[in-house]
Amino acid sequence: MNKIFLETIRAVDGKIFYISYHQERYESVLKKFGVEDVKNLKTVLNPPKIGIYRCRLTYDLSKTPHQIDVTYHEYKKRETTSLKLVYDDNIEYSLKSICRDKLDALYDQRGECDDVLIVKNSLITDTTIANIAFYDSKRWLTPALPLLKGTTRERLLREGKIFEEEIHVADLKKFSKIAIMNAMVDFDIITQNTKDFFC
C-alpha cells in the first residue's frame, strides 16, 4: 500500500490560507496509521512573496520519522466549463495520496469535456481535482459521500454555507448552478445552465 500523502495549500503573496484545516487532515492521516510524530505544517512553509502559488507538501509514512517535502508551483487555474459523467463503483480515494492512477484513468475518459464527474454506486461524488456543489434555488448542496473530504468542503460545511445530501444522477436536472471547490479555487461558481454543463 502506498503511504505517501500530500497536502495542497494556497499561498498568495506569501500569505498561507486555511492552514489549520490542512493541519487537521494531516494529523488525521497520521492517527490512522498510528504515527505520533506530528509536525507543525506552518513551520515548513516559506512560499514566494509575490504571486499565487500551490504549495505541495508530501510526507511518506513508510519512513520513521517521516519527513515533509515542500515544493512551490506558480498557480494557473484550470478552467472547468464542462463535465462528463463516468461510473466506477470501486474507486477509492479517501486519503489524499500521491497515487492517483485510478483518478487519472477516469480523467482520460473525459473526451472533449474539461473533466469528469465520478458516479459511485449511483451517487455523485467528485471531479478528479475538486469537490462539487449544486444550487437548488435555496441552498448549496454537496454530495454526502465524496471520494475525498476536501479542506474547503469541510470549512464551508462548518460555516453553514453548504449542506450535505446524497445526490443521484437523476437529481442533476433540478439544479440551477454548479460550483467546484478545492484549496486553490476556493468556491468557484460555474454560471452555465446545468443542462449545458454535462457533455
For residue 182, which of 59, 14, 42, 6 has the smallest C-alpha distance? 6
Q: Do 102 and 139 reside in the same domain of the chain? A: yes
- Which of the listed residues 49, 74, 99 is the one where a domain comes to its end? 74
User: Which CATH number is 31's domain given?
Assistant: 3.30.470.10
Q: Each residue of 20-45: pLDDT tens digit?
A: 999 999 999 999 999 999 999 999 99
Q: Do 129 and 187 reside in the same domain of the chain? A: yes
Q: Do 111 and 181 reside in the same domain of the chain? A: yes
- pTM confidence score: 0.94
- Which of the listed residues 37, 56, 74 is the one where a domain comes to its end? 74
Q: Each residue of 131-162: pLDDT tens digit?
A: 999 999 999 999 999 999 999 999 999 999 99
Find the domain containing 178 and state its range. Answer: 83-196
Q: Do 167 and 92 reside in the same domain of the chain? A: yes
Nearest-5° Cα angle at 189, 140 to 22: 80
d(CA 121, CA 125): 10
